[in-house]
Structure 1
Amino acid sequence: MSKMKIIFDTDPGIDDAMALAYLGAQPRAELLALTTVFGNGGVDITTRNALYLTQRFGIDVPVYRGAHTPLVLPAPTPAPHVHGYDGLGDIGALDGFVAEPQATFAPQCIVELIREYPGEVTLLAVGPLTNLALALELDPEITGLVKEVVIMGGAFGWGPRRGNVSPVAEANVINDPHAADKVLTANWPIRAVGLDVTTQSILSTAAARELGRTAGETGQFLFDISRGYEKLYTQRDGFAGCAMHDVAAAIAVFEPHLFGYARGTIRAVTDGIAIGQTILKEEGRSFPPGPWDDLPVQTVCREVDVEGVLSAYHSVLSTHYGGLKTAV
């Protein structure tokens, strides 16, 4: 079975942990590196969480610490009501855990790995896009060497929620809109997995509990850390479950047929009342000249086979982790 080389750019994060568990279990994934960024916590927290999760899930992959602030704006205020103060649900899992990342700065690692494997690397980015923007600054030519850039980010107007931080802005984009605009307008192949599909990809309480039964200690751990995360969705959206934002993006890498797509040029708004909004000018639609002209055409997810995503997640985790022992 041929494997796909993946750099996972992440800010763990509960749904990041869910996505990493999937990548560690996915037999077609060859994880080259985890690169961390601020977002669901400060970069020291997200880096520690990445180190912890790779050990807990038994994933042998180096972790590289990345950006701690956006390109232009101040660092965002943490939101512990979403992921907890420790980023992993405040269940005490990280008590006493200490480990150190690799010495290389994450954007430099991204450049080096893309250069080492030209045409083979998929960048899967599920946090603010600062590391990718900094990698572009270090070496603009990587745009012609990467296989694909799959991002969890944005909202384009098809789904049930156009924003989760403001009425129009998704969290990863608004946390560094300047980086997002730089990445989305670069001449490399992008597939954006936004709120249009991720807010439909709901892991119900019953399904999460079932994974706790079938996916061994990893499944139970994911259930435990997501209790507060799920409570937020129950209070805000009125359903018993949680959105698998980053999981949907990870599954899109390997199961692209589970999604429907639109094509066009993309911009991220970098100031004003709509800061963080993502704007898609679809192919074939005519407008007066504007800031979306003469840009590379990218791909945006607009539809999702929810049952297919849930089935793929359950199958991969249960097959791999069922019966496995915790690594730490």
Structure 2
Amino acid sequence: MTTKIILDTDPGIDDAMAILFAEANPDVELVALTTVYGNAEINTSTRNALYLKQRFNFACDVAKGASGPLVRDPVGASVVVHGENGFGDVPLEEPSIEADPRSAHQYIIDTVKASPGEITLVAVGPLTNLALAIEHAPEIASLVKEVVIMGGAFGTHEHTGNVTPFAEANIHDDPHAADIVLTANWPVTVVGLDVTHEAFFSSQYLDTVRDTCGDIGQFMWDISRFYLAFYKERMGVEGCFVHDPSAIAYVINPALFEVRKGPIRVVCDGPAEGMTLQKYRETKHKTDEWKDKPAQNVAIAVNDRALLDLFLDSMTHYASEQ
């Protein structure tokens, strides 16, 4: 059964991989890309979404979203990871197409209301657009099929943070929005560092993607050069972790992941700003800011080999049909 998704994204090298994965897999219908600041500032991330749509002839809509967080000061684009243009500084032609005139959060509201029970929201950047959507139209909580988020870190396998000792980048960019989204009364699955740091695109794997997946594979290989250089310099590894594509893999085949259920809160200030905490035991406390919040899923284990096979199979099949 095909899952209709709105992919909320800040493209971004690994975002591009996730976007192309969603477009390539026949079990996903990519309804729209809604853009947000994060890996790049909002005009750049929107340009990158439009570029992908035009270059690879996507049928999806593109809607421009939030330019900054709800409350906290912006932390700035992740230029050191993704380059000045968000795509590893690979030269890009300016797209000649335009975004939908609606803001991203209004596009989300309108689309969910028009297709009740059908739309899965997949967010792989800061959660500002989703927070704005649920704040402006709380009724969509009962109309969304599911919310899948790449973000957060809960300490499983000792994975605790990547931009601070205890915070993952997407959550840290807008912790107030994340707390709104994760405590809203809609079904959420968080695919965070607990599992994305357990799957790895080696440089040899990406060479295979380039050699077997046509133009789409060459593009992913080209933009990944900058990304892999960052990983090699910062972590001494030959490849990169599978962050945003893991959220798409969950949409396609949730059985690849083991999940743990319980309400989630986000630390919104102080040295632990952006830290995600899940209460997964049925304990009772005099003071408990989790007890009245909905239980959500957190992915804590992944079949990494099957995930890599799914990604490559999707891309190879897609390329063969172009």
**In which range does the TM-score fall when normalised by the shorter chain?**
over 0.9
Residue 63 of structure 1 corresponds to: 62
Measured after TM superposition, the shift of residue 59 of structure 1 is 1.4
Residue 74 of structure 1 corresponds to: 73
- 2:258 corresponds to which of 257, 260, 276: 260
Distance change >3 Å, CA 239–CA 322, structure 1 → 2: farther
The count of corresponding residues between Structure 1 and Structure 2 is 322
Question: Is 2:234 aligned against 1:236?
Answer: yes
The amino acid across from 1:49 in the alignment is N
CA distance in 2, matches of 1:89, 1:58: 22
CA distance in 2, matches of 1:322, 1:222: 16
Give the TM-score normalised by structure 1: 0.95
- 2:110 corresponds to which of 112, 115, 140: 112
Whether the 8 Å contact between 1:159 and 1:195 is mirrored in structure 2 is no
The amino acid across from 1:51 in the alignment is L
Whether the 8 Å contact between 2:41 and 2:76 is mirrored in structure 1 is no
Whether the 8 Å contact between 2:37 and 2:77 is mirrored in structure 1 is no
Whether the 8 Å contact between 2:38 and 2:78 is mirrored in structure 1 is no
RMSD: 1.2
**Stretches of structure 2 lacking an aligned partner (at least 5 in a row):** none
Question: Is 2:274 aligned against 1:276?
Answer: yes
The amino acid across from 2:85 in the alignment is D
Q: Give 3-state SS (helix, strand or coil) of 2:226's partner.
A: helix
Residue 127 of structure 2 corresponds to: 129
The amino acid across from 1:157 in the alignment is G
Residue 86 of structure 1 corresponds to: 85
Q: Give 3-state SS (helix, strand or coil) of 2:101's partner.
A: coil
Q: Deviations over 1:27-70 (max 9, x none)?
A: 01112111000000111000000000122222111100000011
**Mapping of 1:17-28 within 5 angstroms?**
17-28=16-27
CA distance in 2, matches of 1:163, 1:68: 24
Measured after TM superposition, the shift of residue 287 of structure 1 is 4.2
CA distance in 2, matches of 1:244, 1:314: 13
The amino acid across from 2:273 in the alignment is I
The amino acid across from 2:40 in the alignment is G
**Stretches of structure 1 lacking an aligned partner (at least 5 in a row):** none
Q: Give 3-state SS (helix, strand or coil) of 1:282's partner.
A: coil
Residue 185 of structure 1 corresponds to: 183
Whether the 8 Å contact between 1:215 and 1:323 is mirrored in structure 2 is no
Whether the 8 Å contact between 2:266 and 2:274 is mirrored in structure 1 is yes
Say which is worse superposed, 278-287 or 32-41, in terms of deviation.
278-287
Percentage of pairs with the same residue: 47
Measured after TM superposition, the shift of residue 288 of structure 1 is 4.2
Q: Give 3-state SS (helix, strand or coil) of 1:226's partner.
A: helix
CA distance in 2, matches of 1:37, 1:195: 20
CA distance in 2, matches of 1:319, 1:213: 13
Q: Give 3-state SS (helix, strand or coil) of 2:185's partner.
A: coil
CA distance in 2, matches of 1:219, 1:322: 11
Measured after TM superposition, the shift of residue 283 of structure 1 is 3.6
CA distance in 1, matches of 2:321, 2:102: 35
Residue 50 of structure 2 corresponds to: 51
Q: Deviations over 1:212-235 (max 9, x none)?
A: 011101101101101111121122
Q: Deviations over 1:74-128 (max 9, x none)?
A: 2222221100000000011x14444321101110010011101111110000000
**Mapping of 1:164-243 within 5 angstroms?**
164-243=162-241
